Structure 1
């Protein structure tokens, strides 16, 4: 057993800072109120906020709230990118709590207090905190400091060792410069958001940023060799701290890009276990590698943990890549580099942690793996490749074709004959099929019900066209096409993949059974009906949330439809080439009876679907699927409609 050495603030349970003086001295607080320790200048202040450096610590710890100077309690939000309920997961995040200016007073003596709910599964609620930062914002003209980043211009390509300096007429006024970037990379903030201004704090000190300098010309060199390939522009700015302690943000330099002789893929984890603590069991998650392993030179593993001295191995596809390291009972960041990782697989890779055994006959803490889990960066030097290509891989333990296009990566289940994943360039999976739980209503709305096009239902070949089933044989054809035939030969269809969409041609149907075309998945990669929208050729965008479980469904006759999330840059659209008069359907299905408020679930949309889950289509037809720019307003709806009509005309001409 190892004694605790590090210091942090415990909130909740028998070691709560208010009642455990051996963990937090009684003279450091008054009835739980802790002084901030700085005199506040509120003249010209425009707003205030508190940033908490929070570790979840014990699952099912809920109700975190902040109090300032005895004013009403302020609820602290859960991390947005963690699955619901977030309290079931291990995470270390930095929630921001707006504070009304009237809660503060000028000068010294401002205090804060923290609390959590008293109930928890094993009667020990606990969050721990490494820092509490109070920020006061002022109008920019109040404290004018002329500063800008030098070394880059808008639209530049970044160098492998990019030099950054600060231009200012008053360098003597500056105490420190911290350079930060807006780009897609490892999520060190622990909120599940991969594109953001890349920095965070530990005990109030900035970390995982581009670099810092404390003397003119405030020069740093940013090594970009392992910066992932970017789906969008990179921006660079600086946080400039003057000798008064005021932080000034420079204008961002935008339009930056990478131009180099290698590629770096950020491989994102999925299906992370709740309560990932190694004393519980040997636990697994997954990560999809879309780079061909033949071309991989090296990889990096990155994750955040707590108490990794009690780890007993991290494994990729059964190969041990890490054992354990200090500290015990404290926060840690891990970044490992492995040359020529021959154990990588194309598509799905299994990440696992070993179970921590009893030590001296006693259960010990184990390593906590903090959300979003263990992330990979994969560096390759691939040869020139076509923009659209089909390769072999695996997902959910099943053989897949993996279709790479400039706009999306499609996972095609070869035995199921349907799409199990559709991943945009930001890493969002718009389908999210998983085999467990299997065929359980409504729980499988978070797993096995999902897919595109889920064609055949209610016959002895039911499941043909649906990922997870074994009703098809699929082959790769010339011209970036995949053909699937049902095992009894009564159904056949071909997918043709293009740079910005995919086309499905139904070539053979069973004369004794109808079919439908379904999109059952997660717009924007999550189930959040209140933040999602849809539209059809009859209008949009529409904020409607019919609850399938409650019997609320929408039926109409549509030529095309789209689905989006307010944070996603795209919508997923589906269209049918031939107009018809058959019923189409739309609703949301949650994975619990809570319906729209369930923690997970899916959209149900069907061409040729009648109430009562009745397929209606019998003829050979053509359908389209793709991603397009997000539809925020009526003008964007009109643009998408024009694009789809052009797409339909184009394929009519080709036919």
Structure 2
């Protein structure tokens, strides 16, 4: 064998080995078999090894410790250390990942990262905070199994000040999720060692979309608690990873949100209404099967691929984004922030419209009409619970105008205020 052919063979072997490592959110064409995953969630409280000054897990830049104002706040006492207990025989695992629900922090905060058990340091994917935007994301970071231990795993999070006035972020939830082989003894104990399932997607008899159901052995049905359906398609980026085409949806308080839906009874049917998605030919659907005996164990099916989303002749669905989206799209203390949609379409052609927006609910203060489109209130950030909120609201087509359609955000609270998170608001318009 020549040296070049030997190098090619080695490279092919490495690529093949890398491709064989399971990834929970891999693209549909890279998921060639169903897979069991087990989640080990971060749990707050000294009884779980996680004392804290705050109710939420916070990460601070080093500068916060000596800051004359922020350094005296209780948030600055948080050290970014998290323990996650994962009782796993690491030699039996196929892969492991870190997953988190992450408020990106004050705009300008940079270089978010985590060190696992003092071994390897991993960058958390940048999604726009370091560029000066407000963000919320759900990073999934592949971990080396040699970085983990069977027991309490120490995750030291850190970040840099960047251009922020206070380098700061918080994690609402985090988990180490592990890919299990079908031969794992824990599956046998639960009667799942022979379990398999697949998604059946049949085009809907009326309208764009699919009738979904789970196909599995009848004997396995009593073991199933529910089935969550997730879609891969081109649409609004509600999970903030700056990808319009990917697996849509996210978790909030560890539960699935903004997914296609959840079915709780056999045969676990669900209607996927795709009437407000652009036409496309390569959508996909997978099922996340949850089990009654272990709520932290799931089975992710092989995706049903190459699904077409079509509309009648003369009908199209468009996604309009603001052309002048501001950075630091954040209002407090009476500071108004604005952007606008430029629509090159006759509103008379619009048969249906929706406003999509992801916001951080830090409070509008005394302002009632805090977020408006063409002067009309759209309640996208109700309350002041300081949490992420995804809104999908109907828009009367008669409200829209050809040309400029202004959006205004205003909060007069002296506290945190309202953030419009990336990707910013969007209009999804169905027209003829």
Q: TM-score, normalised by structure 1?
A: 0.49
Structure 2 partner of 1:111:
154
Structure 2 partner of 1:637:
none
Which runs of at least 4 in structure 1 moved beyond 6 Å after TM superposition? 19-26
Larger RCO (alpha carbons 8 Å, 6+ apart): 2
Report the secondary structure of 2:417's partner residue: coil
Determine if the alignment matches structure 1 residue 91 to structure 2 residue 135.
yes
Structure 1 partner of 2:371:
314
Structure 2 partner of 1:149:
199
Report the secondary structure of 1:307's partner residue: strand
Structure 1 partner of 2:393:
336
Change (3 A) 1:111 1:20: farther
Change (3 A) 1:366 1:208: same
2:173 to 131, 140, 146: 131
* Native 8 Å contact 1:308 1:332 kept in 2: no
* Native 8 Å contact 1:299 1:341 kept in 2: no
Determine if the alignment matches structure 1 residue 166 to structure 2 residue 166.
no
Determine if the alignment matches structure 1 residue 283 to structure 2 residue 337.
yes
Q: Which has the larger radius of gyration?
A: 1
Separation in 2, partners of 1:286, 1:373: 11
Report the secondary structure of 1:341's partner residue: helix
C-alpha displacement at 1:370, in angstroms?
Answer: 0.2
Separation in 2, partners of 1:184, 1:209: 14
C-alpha displacement at 1:249, in angstroms?
Answer: 2.1
* Native 8 Å contact 2:201 2:304 kept in 1: no
Separation in 1, partners of 2:254, 2:80: 21
1:302 to 348, 356, 360: 356
Separation in 2, partners of 1:337, 1:15: 46
Structure 2 partner of 1:35:
83
Structure 1 partner of 2:117:
69
C-alpha displacement at 1:9, in angstroms?
Answer: 1.8
Matches within 5 A, 1:466-481: none
Report the secondary structure of 1:192's partner residue: coil
C-alpha displacement at 1:72, in angstroms?
Answer: 3.5
Change (3 A) 1:88 1:119: closer
Separation in 1, partners of 2:339, 2:121: 37
* Native 8 Å contact 1:297 1:341 kept in 2: no
Runs of 5+ consecutive residues of structure 1 not aligned to the other structure: 1-5, 383-655
Determine if the alignment matches structure 1 residue 271 to structure 2 residue 313.
no
C-alpha displacement at 1:15, in angstroms?
Answer: 9.4
Structure 2 partner of 1:46:
94
Matches within 5 A, 1:507-526: none
Separation in 2, partners of 1:206, 1:174: 17
Structure 2 partner of 1:239:
288
C-alpha displacement at 1:288, in angstroms?
Answer: 4.4
Runs of 5+ consecutive residues of structure 2 not aligned to the other structure: 1-53, 185-192
Report the secondary structure of 1:270's partner residue: coil
Structure 2 partner of 1:501:
none
Change (3 A) 1:21 1:172: farther
Query: CA RMSD of the aligned region, Å?
Result: 3.2
Separation in 1, partners of 2:72, 2:119: 24
Matches within 5 A, 1:428-467: none
Separation in 1, partners of 2:428, 2:345: 10
Change (3 A) 1:307 1:342: closer
Q: Deviations over 1:165-213 (max 9, x none)?
A: 2111122333331111111122111122111111211222211111112
Change (3 A) 1:110 1:151: same
C-alpha displacement at 1:59, in angstroms?
Answer: 1.5
Separation in 2, partners of 1:15, 1:219: 53
C-alpha displacement at 1:159, in angstroms?
Answer: 4.5
* Native 8 Å contact 2:288 2:298 kept in 1: yes
Determine if the alignment matches structure 1 residue 213 to structure 2 residue 263.
yes
Matches within 5 A, 1:393-432: none
Change (3 A) 1:208 1:20: farther
Report the secondary structure of 1:98's partner residue: strand
Change (3 A) 1:38 1:100: closer
Q: TM-score, normalised by structure 2?
A: 0.72
Separation in 1, partners of 2:242, 2:309: 24
